[in-house]
Chains A and B, each alone.
Chain A
Amino acid sequence: MLSISNLHVSVGDKPILKGLTLDVPAGEVHAIMGPNGAGKSTLGYALSGRPGYEATEGSVVWKGEDLLALDPAERAAKGVFLSFQYPIEIPGVPALTFVRTALNAQKRARGEEEVAAPAFLKLVREASKALKMDFDMLKRPLNVGFSGGEKKRMEILQMALLEPSLLILDETDSGLDIDALRIVSEGVNALRSPDRAMLVITHYQRLLDYIKPDRVHVLAGGRIVASGGPELAHQLEAEGYDKYLPELA
């Protein structure tokens, strides 16, 4: 479903990803683990098309299409969703307005009919209830004054409403207490399906107790240096990333 081949990405003049190759079949959840500075967040940004993250070599094919040729909004309409490590605050734009604008923009781009306000509100009420979110909070400007946990729930709420097919979770567990982590993880697990692929980017194994991966990859020095089953995450937790670092020198 997602096929990344020999991907090189530079930020400014600095190469960050140096020949990353990774395949994620439909229906699978793959975890990307690695030390700080390995290029984990860069991978998320490169896949979603953030300006300044330039692919200098290699390819990314998503559902048979060259993802790198599309702008960020086009990628979103094709189902790419990046859950931000630090969700952005947008003063002056109520969360409800924001999500509805995004949903309808994606629908327009796909040639589908837009969702009218009453139907949209019904969807939001259901989705926010499942995430134990206060509906009134969604009338406030997006993420402004939200706590870390509320921002992450807001990301998952958007995910539930936009129904993406490639979900990239960048350090979704950071800043969450155990209760919030459980609720957020349940929200993510509810989206697991045979026609979706997920990339879970995380530094710690903790999140993978809640979102069980099919495969675990170690990203170090801008490349995938090891891959394995879920047991690899436990091994990393016990041994750390040190053994993957010397070979970078």
Chain B
Amino acid sequence: MSATFAIDLTDASTFPSRRNEAWKYSDLKRYLREAPEPSGTAAVGAPGPFYDLGGDAIVFANGRAVGVTDFIASGEQTLRLRYISDAVGTGHTASARVSARAGAKLLLLETHEGAGSAYVVNNRLELDVAQGAEVTRVVLVEEPEDVISVAEAEVRVEAGGVYRQTIIATGAKLQRIETRIRHMAQGAHVQADGLYLLNGSRQADLTSVVRHMERDGTTSQLIKGVARDTARGVFQGKIVVERGADGTDARMGHHALIASERAEIDAKPELIIYADDVQCAHGNTVGALDDSALFYMQQRGIPADEARALLTQAFLIEVIDRIEHEGAREVAREWLTARL
């Protein structure tokens, strides 16, 4: 078991419970008391949402690599990273390693594509962004409503490197998408965005920890979410500015809509600052759809359900608009719109 990833699906003693502060909103142990039986093989079916954008591919089917598990980018490249699950009641783990060489520009298009039911999955990614490299990562997560899914990414950004991510989650029985990002050297830039759109009794937990280890790094985070029905959205965002990481500029925002009286949002934004000369800010709001806007739209002939969908899309789209790569942005926009 690597030190980077603490959860081992074959060993129930590694499953965190809510007694672990970082897991208090997503009590894995409560949902998963025993280690699941290992999953069998699965077929790679449809080509995936990002197929049209081309590039290389890393594909896992029920944790088994179909081809390579590692990728090193140089120059300008596109990589599709697909975690495919098709299992019933079993568990599997997939681990990928990706790095962008100095000066490289990588578009990393990641999908978590689930079929079947009640499976358990732990998808992992280690990502290194070398000096002056630029990585844009867009993650689409769609899984059956009764599965347990923990996705973890460990990201290291070197001097002057740029790392941007946008996670789009639709939830599951328990869906935790955790990103740990470290500014390893001076002057790195990080954008750690995401959104969740949750129906039924789905749950999604977007957790991130960004560590500024060195000077003059920037972090910008915008997370938006909508919880409908009895769904539950969780946002835990932690930004740590270590001693000596002066000149850091870190901004975090989480804004959520509760679209039903029985839906729930839990938010825990944290800024932990050990350096003196820093600029940090965070904002957190949770509200409901605007009734007067809903009436206005209906008055013009837009039926209530369509009006709600349009307002919800308008609320969430800000996150999509921040995706810099046009092709990826449009795929993400269509993907989201189809799920409103």
Contacts and interface: CB of A to CB of B under 8 A. Distances in A.
Interface of A: 48-51, 71-73, 75-77, 80-82, 84, 87-93, 98-99, 101-103, 105-106, 109, 141, 158, 162
Given A51-B295, A72-B295, A90 B301 contact: no
Contacts of A103: 301
Given A92-B311, A92-B315, 16 more contacts: A49-B298, A72-B295, A80-B299, A88-B293, A88-B296, A90-B296, A92-B313, A92-B314, A93-B311, A101-B302, A101-B306, A102-B297, A102-B301, A105-B303, A106-B301, A162-B301
Contact of A84 (B296, B301, B311, B313): B296
Given A88-B292, A90-B293, A101 B310 contact: yes
B297 A90 contact: yes
B301 A92 contact: no
A71 B300 contact: no
Contacts of A141: 314
Contact of B304 (A71, A84, A93): A71
Nearest to B313: A92
Contacts of A92: 311, 313-315, 317-318
A80 B299 CA distance: 8
Instruction: Summarize B's interface: helix, strand, loop or mixed.
Output: helix
A128 B290 CA distance: 28
27 contacts: A50-B299, A51-B295, A71-B298, A71-B303, A72-B299, A73-B298, A73-B299, A73-B304, A75-B299, A76-B301, A77-B301, A80-B299, A81-B299, A87-B296, A88-B290, A90-B311, A92-B311, A92-B314, A93-B311, A102-B301, A103-B301, A105-B301, A109-B301, A109-B303, A158-B300, A162-B300, A162-B301
A84 B295 CA distance: 11
B291 interface: yes
Contacts, number: 74
Contacts of A73: 298-299, 301-304, 307
Shortest Cβ-Cβ A-B pairs, 10 listed: A92-B314, A76-B301, A106-B301, A102-B300, A72-B298, A88-B296, A73-B298, A73-B303, A105-B301, A102-B301
Scoring A77, A87, A93, A98 by chain B CB atoms within 10 A of each residue's CB, the highest score goes to: A93
Interface residues of B, number: 23
A92 B315 CA distance: 7
A51 B294 CA distance: 10
B291 A51 contact: yes
A102 B310 CA distance: 11
Contacts of B307: 73
A50 B291 CA distance: 10
A118 to B, nearest CB: 21
B162 to A, nearest CB: 27
Nearest to B315: A92
B300 A76 contact: yes
A110 to B, nearest CB: 10
A88 B294 CA distance: 10
B321 to A, nearest CB: 9
Contacts of B317: 92
Contact of A105 (B290, B306, B318): B306
Contacts of A82: 299
B297 to A, nearest CB: 7
Contacts of A162: 300-301
A219 to B, nearest CB: 21
A90 B298 CA distance: 13
A55 to B, nearest CB: 16
Contacts of B300: 76, 81, 98-99, 102, 158, 162
A151 B303 CA distance: 23
A93 B310 contact: yes
Interface in B114-172: none
Interface string B263-305: 0000000000000000000000000001111011111111110
A81 B298 CA distance: 11
A89 to B, nearest CB: 8
A109 B300 CA distance: 12
Contacts of A105: 301-303, 306
B227 to A, nearest CB: 18
Contacts of A49: 298-299
A51 B299 CA distance: 11
A49 B304 CA distance: 12
Scoring A80, A82, A90, A99 by chain B CB atoms within 10 A of each residue's CB, the highest score goes to: A90
Contact of B302 (A75, A81, A102): A102
